[in-house]
Structure 1
Amino acid sequence: MATNTHDLQVRTAADGRIVEVKVCGKLTQADCEKFIPVIDEGVEKFGQVRLLFDCADFEGWTLDGMLEDAKFGLHHYNAIFRMAIVGNKTWEKAMATLCKPFTKAAVNYYDVSEIDTARAWLREGT
């Protein structure tokens, strides 16, 4: 069921080594333009970042959001060390598997009830 709401939340942890992105609704180009600089700042400072993508309320992409997200993947192939995808839908779990060829990151999927486990996995070794 569509939520008909849109919200983007971006936060960092571990001095910017970990970036958390939560999207409610569809991911837009404007969303990408908000979180990509945060990731870039962490990459510039540490070489790589760890990314938590909370997609429990994610409903896919707008066309411009999909294009910007694809461009992000191409330009940040080596930038992500670990990526935790948190969700509650079967297709989100599949998305974790499908994105693996497009990144050098270790990618794990976690149910929304396991978000603290995902955060602990991202923090390992920081």
Structure 2
Amino acid sequence: MIQILQQTAGNLIAIKATGKLTVGAYAKLLPLLVDRFRQFKTIRWYFEMEDFKGWDAKALWEDIKFDVTHANGFEKIAMVGEKPWQEKVTDLMKPFTKAEVKFFKLTEKDAALSWIGLNGS
């Protein structure tokens, strides 16, 4: 499931992912992302993972297609999670984007939001 967080404003997209992401979840998220890319030159992304189990195959494919198409449109990506594999996924993203990408633990949510620029940073 994807929840769009209240911090979403301007070129900052803040979401929380729980469980396993499906194509249905992407159907909710993609219009928001496409709209923000139309409005802004670059996007800052806060992606929080709590009790996150990953992607089903179709959702993963949609994610990869979108990320490849928009790889240079991200300014910063804050990945916030609780599992070692989530930190590894964050590291795997780095060569495929010009964005600054950083992993934070769930206990570091405030630091992640500050780093992504929510608090004027």
Q: When the two structures are superposed, what TM-score results if normalisation uses the length of structure 1?
A: 0.86
Counterpart mapping for 1:79-98 below 5 A: 79-98=73-92
Tell me the matched-pair count: 120
Counterpart position of 1:116: 110
- The runs of 4+ residues in structure 1 deviating greater than 2 Å are 11-16
Q: Which letter does structure 1 place at the counterpart of 2:41?
A: G
SS of alignment partner, residue 50 of structure 2: coil
2:36 matches 1:36: no
1:14 deviation in Å?
6.6
SS of alignment partner, residue 47 of structure 1: coil
Q: When the two structures are superposed, what TM-score results if normalisation uses the length of structure 2?
A: 0.89
SS of alignment partner, residue 114 of structure 2: helix
- Where in structure 1 are there 5+ consecutive unaligned residues? 1-6
Counterpart mapping for 1:1-126 below 5 A: 7-11=1-5, 13=7, 15-123=9-117
8 Å contact kept, 2:2–2:15:
yes
8 Å contact kept, 2:8–2:14:
no
> Equivalents in 1 of 2:10, 2:93: separation in Å?
23
Percent identity, please: 33
SS of alignment partner, residue 71 of structure 2: coil
Give the CA RMSD over aligned residues. Answer: 1.7
Q: Note the alpha carbon deviations across 1:6-47, whole angstroms, 9 max, x for none.
A: x32013647321101211111111211211221222221111
> Equivalents in 2 of 1:20, 1:105: separation in Å?
16
